[in-house]
Amino acid sequence: MLYTAYRNVQIQEISDGGFWHADEVHYESGSLETSEPVRSIGHWNKPDQVEIFQVTSGRVMMIVVPRSPVDVIYAANYAAGDSCVIPLGAFHLTYSPWTASTVFNISFEGAAPPDQKYDRHPAPEISAVLESNRIRLETPAGMSVKTDQLSPVLSSVPSDLAKFLCAARPSDLAELRAEVAALTAAGWPAR
């Protein structure tokens, strides 16, 4: 089993017709039969989808590939308490080889219902192997790998995503969505 996911543990419909929802995913540690580290299946987000992950226990590596052009991979480790902001429309994948880990995430789905949150583009050709307690990424020629954490300073990113979504006012959610959209529109993450 890759992981255990609890989908839509919280859902908030907001006045402009969009949905915010939360998932919690539990990963075991180790490697799969293919020698690839335990991981999520990975997917592309829709162009207007805001998604933020927070590691609540353990340690993971998040792989993030901005949509266009697909020539850079962000691969960084995140420990308990760290957050990763996914740029709008990006591909992302989580690896958890070192220890069992739990990751909580919130996302804004636009007008689509929460069960239609993924974009169906083919995944980038990325694979990984665990070697001597390190993840070695295998990528197509011409792709560069950056190890920067995608944790921009946002005034609206809370230190506890679960509590935030429970208590958030519509204006809090709108501010968070606007900040991530503005960052992405400004070219973040910088190449």
Answer whether residue 72 is part of any domain: yes
Phi first, then psi, for residue 32 (nearest 5°) are -85, 175
Answer whether residue 191 is part of any domain: no
Q: Taking a C-beta distance cutoff of 8 angstroms, is the pair 151, 87 a contact?
A: no
CATH of the domain at 166: 2.60.120.10
Answer whether residue 190 is part of any domain: no
Number of folded domains that form the chain: 1
pLDDT tens-digit profile, the chain (191 residues): 779 999 989 888 776 677 888 999 999 998 888 888 999 999 999 888 889 999 999 999 999 998 877 788 999 999 999 999 999 889 999 999 999 999 999 998 776 555 555 666 778 888 888 888 888 888 888 888 988 888 887 777 778 888 888 888 888 888 888 888 898 888 888 65
- Coil, strand or helix: which one is 183? helix
Q: Which domain holds residue 155?
A: 3-185
Report pTM.
0.89
Answer whether residue 38 is part of any domain: yes
Rg (CA), the chain: 16
